[in-house]
A and B are shown apart, each in its own frame.
Chain A
Amino acid sequence: MATAAYPTRRGFFTRPRSTTGKWSWFFTVDHKKIGIMYCVTAFIFFIVGGLEALAIRSQLAQPNGEILNAEVYNQFFTMHGLTMIFLVVMPMGVGLMNYLVPLLIGARDVAFPRLNAFSYWVFLFGGIFLYSSFFLGGAPDGGWFGYAPLNETLPGHGMTFYALGLQILGVASLAGAVNFIITIINMRAPGMTLLRMPVFVWMTLVTAFLLLFAMPIIAVALFELMFDRAFQATFFDPTQGGDPLLWQHLFWLFGHPEVYIMILPAMGIVSDVLPTFSGKPIFGYNAIVFAGAAIGFMGWGVWAHHMFTTGLGPVANSAFALSTMFIAVPTGVKIFNWIGTMWGGSLRFTTPMLFSIGFIAMFIIGGLSGVTHSIAPHDAQQQDTYYVVAHFHYVLFGGAIFGLFSGFYYWWPKAFGKLLSEKLGKVHFWLMFLGFNLTFGPFHVLGLNGMPRRIYTYVEGMGWDFMNLLSTIGAFVIALSALVFIANVVITRRRGEEAGADPWDARTLEWSTTSPPPEYNFEEIPIVRHRDDFWHRKYIETPEGEPARVLAGGAVATHEHEAGHGIHMPSPSYFPIVAATGLPLLGYGVIYFNSTGKALLVLGALVTMMGLFGWVLEPGAEERV
Chain B
Amino acid sequence: MSTHEVASAPVAEHHTSTGLDNTKLAMWAFLGSECLFFGSFITTYLLYRNRVLDGPTPHEIYDIPFTSVSSFILLMSSLTMVLALAAIQRGDHKTMRVWLACTALLGMAFIGGQVYEFTTFVEEGLKISTSVFGSSFFVLTGFHGAHVTVGIFMLLALVGMSMSGRLGDRHEGARKVELIGLYWHFVDIVWIVIFTVIYLIPTN
Contacts and interface: CB of A to CB of B under 8 A. Distances in A.
Interface of A: 108-109, 111-113, 174, 177-179, 181-182, 185-190, 192, 212-213, 215-217, 219-221, 223-224, 227-228, 231-235, 237, 240-243, 246, 250, 523-527, 537, 553, 555, 557, 566-570, 613, 616-617, 620-621
> Across chains A and B, which 3 residue pairs bring their CB atoms closest together, nearest first?
A216-B37, A220-B40, A233-B135
B30 to A, nearest CB: 6
B22 A182 contact: yes
9 contacts: A186-B16, A188-B17, A190-B7, A216-B40, A231-B128, A524-B7, A527-B3, A527-B4, A621-B12
B4 A224 contact: no
Contacts of A570: 11-12
A525 B16 CA distance: 13
Nearest to A233: B135
Contacts of B161: 616-617
B128 A216 contact: no
Interface string B1-39: 101111111111000111010100110011011101100
B40 A227 contact: no
Contacts of A537: 3
Interface stretch (B44-52, B82-90, B186-194): B44-52
Contacts of B11: 108-109, 113, 568-570
B26 A227 contact: no
A555 B1 CA distance: 10
B40 A524 contact: no
Contact of B131 (A213, A231, A234): A234
Contacts of B134: 233
Contacts of B32: 212-213
A223 B44 CA distance: 12
Contacts, number: 146
Contacts of A231: 128
B18 A186 contact: yes
A567 B11 CA distance: 8
B197 to A, nearest CB: 16
Interface residues of B, number: 46
Given A108-B11, A526-B4, 5 more contacts: A177-B33, A224-B44, A241-B53, A242-B135, A523-B4
B41 to A, nearest CB: 6
A74 B136 CA distance: 31
Given A527-B4, A567-B10, A243 B47 contact: yes
Given A217-B40, A224-B139, A525-B8, A241 B29 contact: no
Contacts of B131: 234, 240-241
A108 B8 CA distance: 9
A570 B11 CA distance: 8
B154 to A, nearest CB: 9
B94 interface: no
Nearest to A192: B17
Contacts of B166: 617
Nearest to B128: A233
Contacts of A250: 40
B29 A181 contact: yes
Given A220-B44, A241-B51, A185 B17 contact: yes
B9 A235 contact: no
A524 B17 contact: no
Contact of A241 (B33, B48, B143): B48
Contact of B30 (A178, A234, A553, A616): A178
A566 B6 CA distance: 13
A220 B129 contact: no
Contacts of B20: 186
Contacts of A621: 12
B132 interface: yes
B157 interface: yes
B48 A185 contact: no
A187 B36 CA distance: 27
Nearest to B36: A216
A523 B3 CA distance: 13
B22 A111 contact: yes
B40 A241 contact: no
A138 to B, nearest CB: 25
Given A240-B53, A526-B4, A220 B26 contact: no
